Structure 1
Amino acid sequence: MQVSIENSRNLSKKRGFLFWTIALIILLAGTIVGAIAIGSTYIEPGEVYKILLNKLSNGMLFSGVGEVMTHNIIWEIRFPRVLLGAICGAGLAICGVLMQCVTKNPIAEPYILGISSGASCGAVAVIVLGGVSSIGINSITSGAFVGSIISGVLVFAIGTQMGKTTSTTRLVLTGMAISTIFSALTNLLIYSADNSNQAKNALFWTVGSLGGAKWDVLLIPFVALVIVMIVAFLMSKSLDILLLGDDSAIILGINVKLVKSIILILATFLTSTLVAITGAIGFIGLVVPHVCRTIAGSDHKKLIVLSALVGSIFLIASDIAARGLFPPIEIPIGIITSLVGGPFFLYLISKKNYSFGGKE
């Protein structure tokens, strides 16, 4: 009898997860079409849908629909931007899941290790000083990537004593200290800018934007996202056990130091790759995992899937607001995510039945 009840509960959970997955995929598709349709030149969603299918099918479907200019706006400008938003939203949300698991800290997010501050400092240094030559897509993203890697290495080396300790308190405090140092350097660089235009560009970059999206910049963050998702899926059981505590995980045969080191390296790699292109976009890695825990609980396989979908939807919707609130002026997307994410997170933690790990 007890086995039958347990099987019934498991089946109900699987059906609930499947329902939410399908619903979020449909919502993501609708959000993508809406984001492409909205802009300085409004395009009917039906036309967007047909042109996308035409391009994706290499002209086999809906041939002759739309003007050449409309095709270019959709395919060369808006679609890459939406895809970058989906990749970045999914990546930051997954990094949030990983960081909250490793640190067992409900307020941990991808930027808790100072990675975004390092990236911002690197990018602003390029903008203000103009002394870094291009080593990748362009000088700004190259500077941001170098800055994020430097901050990540410093936090890992100091916070974990080169992998010798698993103290999450030491790691978090080290990340906060490194973040403060790089933020101070960034502000110093902005203050020393030669002209207001230079300072404005630097300040805009530090709060995030998808404006630099092009087809040739999508491959690297997409590959990074896929790699991290695959490894996270393979390590999902270990992540579930980590929530029980280090001592319990060791008893159950988990190499805690190795697992935490791998997760930290993955989170640093993915976050630095994303931040180097979009700038610092906050609150996604903090809010989205908590929202998804109310559905999936602490099962990391489900949590990773749902967080990727919700993160993509959230960032794409935020970009729509950033472009559409005060046209033709574009608001930095980090402002929108903070304005929406902050109050929602306060509402979430005010619920009496909410706890880190979600419903079981």
Structure 2
Amino acid sequence: MAALAPVRRTRTVGAGVLTAGLLVALAAALTVAVSLGSVDVPAREVWTVVVRHVTHTQQIPGTRDLIVWQLRVPRALLAALVGAGLGLVGTAVQALVRNPLADPYLLGISSGASLGALGAIVLGVGAGGALGLGVSAAAFGGALGSFALVWLVARRGGGFSPLRLVLSGIAVGQFLGGLCSYLVLQGGDEQRTRGVLFWLMGSLGGATWGQLAVPAVAVALAGVALQARARALNALVLGDETAAGLGVDPDRLRRELFVVTSLLTGVLVAVSGAVGFVGLLVPHLCRLLVGGDHRRLLPLSALTGAVLLTAVDTVARTALDAQELPIGVVTALLGAPVLLFLLDRRLEGNR
């Protein structure tokens, strides 16, 4: 498999310009997400409601106020948080294995987190809140355990091989995915089973203000931790020997990335289910624009992921009148053609 390209100062777009553009795009995406639905709310009214709640001025009770502030704003913010987290995780994992095709799915992290969260849901651990802290903790434990298993299998016999890590992740992920399917089939309640299956394909339905705290803290802490290691990540993609020559301990850095990505993946899966393609595509798109320097790549990947998933969730909610689509269905339909296009461009560039 092709390794990540080393950090180069080639044709890139100004990071400051991109950041400003993405912030504007995120504000627009959030506004559209809150405006559209079974009951459309004008953008001006959306911002009026939000400003009144934020500034604690007198509220005008009514259906639209309830729809905007209690139903749609928390969901839109959760979509942005999950998208930002997936962008960070995808960038970190690709640096971890020095492979542009790596993501939490490929390394079995998402499967482990899904198994942990699903086990908590089936056993009723998160009964106090459909996706409460108990489910988040179970998802984190599942993500940590699955990646630990992948890591041990990949490191058998000593040494480190990105290809072996990826292949181990695929094998462990398939095994854990089978266990997830078994747990789903054991559910006696047909309605609950359908709900769990829908959640496994990715869903932000039922998002509340109370669900935002844990993912917001996790994304913020992970972002700070990864940004502090941006230079080390630049060294890591050049190879272990080069990284060691630059004063970076590759094994220690991988262990740190292992914990951070597992923690963040576990939290994200707990609140949204397993959403594919975002963590794979976003780093690719950002790398095309700003190059491989993680000092710029990490924050831009977070912003791009936030914009992308907010837009995807809006499409999932509004594409069909009668029902809501799982987010994973939309990301797969959009992500697969984009990935094929990027791979085609990469192959052409290597000829």
TM-score after normalising by structure 2? 0.89
Aligned to 1:5: none
Report deviation, 1:355: 6.5
- After alignment, is 170-179 or 22-31 more displaced? 170-179
| Cα gap change, 1:24 to 1:262, in 2 (>3 Å) | same
Aligned to 2:36: 38
List per-residue Cα deviations over 1:19-68 (Å, max 9, x = no partner): 11111110110000000001111100111012112222222xxx56x543
List per-residue Cα deviations over 1:201-226 (Å, max 9, x = no partner): 22111111011421111111111111
Q: Is the 1:165–1:257 Cα contact (8 Å) retained in structure 2?
A: no
**Equivalent-residue separation in structure 2 for 1:218 and 1:84 (angstroms):** 6
**Equivalent-residue separation in structure 2 for 1:355 and 1:252 (angstroms):** 29
Output the amino acid matched with 1:45. Answer: A
**Equivalent-residue separation in structure 1 for 2:348 and 2:50 (angstroms):** 41
Report deviation, 1:265: 1.2
**Aligned residue runs from structure 1 range 183-332, under 5 A:** 183-332=177-326
Structure number with greater Rg is: 1
Report deviation, 1:160: 4.4
Output the amino acid matched with 1:42. Answer: D
Aligned to 1:19: 17
Output the amino acid matched with 2:16. Answer: L
**Equivalent-residue separation in structure 2 for 1:72 and 1:160 (angstroms):** 53
List per-residue Cα deviations over 1:145-196 (Å, max 9, x = no partner): 44334323333444446xx754323322222222111111112223333343
| Cα gap change, 1:338 to 1:296, in 2 (>3 Å) | same
Aligned to 1:78: 72
**Equivalent-residue separation in structure 1 for 2:175 and 2:38 (angstroms):** 39
**Equivalent-residue separation in structure 2 for 1:138 and 1:251 (angstroms):** 42
**Equivalent-residue separation in structure 2 for 1:208 and 1:177 (angstroms):** 22
Q: Is the 1:81–1:213 Cα contact (8 Å) retained in structure 2?
A: yes
Report the number of matched residues: 341
Q: Is the 2:140–2:263 Cα contact (8 Å) retained in structure 1?
A: no
The answer to whether residue 150 in structure 2 is matched with residue 155 in structure 1 is yes
Aligned to 2:55: 57
Q: Is the 1:208–1:334 Cα contact (8 Å) retained in structure 2?
A: yes
**Equivalent-residue separation in structure 2 for 1:142 and 1:252 (angstroms):** 36
**Equivalent-residue separation in structure 2 for 1:118 and 1:16 (angstroms):** 38
Task: Please give the secondary structure, in 2, of the residue aligned with 1:112.
Answer: coil
* Two-structure CA RMSD over aligned residues (Å): 2.7
**Equivalent-residue separation in structure 2 for 1:202 and 1:102 (angstroms):** 31
**Equivalent-residue separation in structure 1 for 2:165 and 2:346 (angstroms):** 30
The answer to whether residue 88 in structure 2 is matched with residue 88 in structure 1 is no
Output the amino acid matched with 1:270. Answer: L
Structure 2 unmatched runs, 5+? 1-8
Q: Is the 2:110–2:269 Cα contact (8 Å) retained in structure 1?
A: yes
Q: Is the 1:145–1:272 Cα contact (8 Å) retained in structure 2?
A: yes
**Equivalent-residue separation in structure 2 for 1:314 and 1:252 (angstroms):** 35
Aligned to 1:7: none
**Aligned residue runs from structure 1 range 80-119, under 5 A:** 80-119=74-113
Q: Which has the higher contact order (CA 8 A, sep 6+)?
A: 2
List per-residue Cα deviations over 1:219-245 (Å, max 9, x = no partner): 111111111111111111111111211
Output the amino acid matched with 1:253. Answer: G
| Cα gap change, 1:261 to 1:325, in 2 (>3 Å) | same
**Equivalent-residue separation in structure 2 for 1:178 and 1:241 (angstroms):** 28
TM-score after normalising by structure 1? 0.86
List per-residue Cα deviations over 1:56-85 (Å, max 9, x = no partner): 2222xxx56x54322221111111111110
**Equivalent-residue separation in structure 2 for 1:131 and 1:310 (angstroms):** 35
- After alignment, is 24-33 or 241-250 more displaced? 241-250
| Cα gap change, 1:149 to 1:337, in 2 (>3 Å) | same
Output the amino acid matched with 1:37. Answer: S
**Equivalent-residue separation in structure 2 for 1:352 and 1:307 (angstroms):** 19
Give the share of equivalent positions with the same residue, in percent: 36
Structure 1 unmatched runs, 5+? 1-9
Aligned to 1:346: 340
Report deviation, 1:259: 1.0
**Equivalent-residue separation in structure 2 for 1:335 and 1:305 (angstroms):** 26
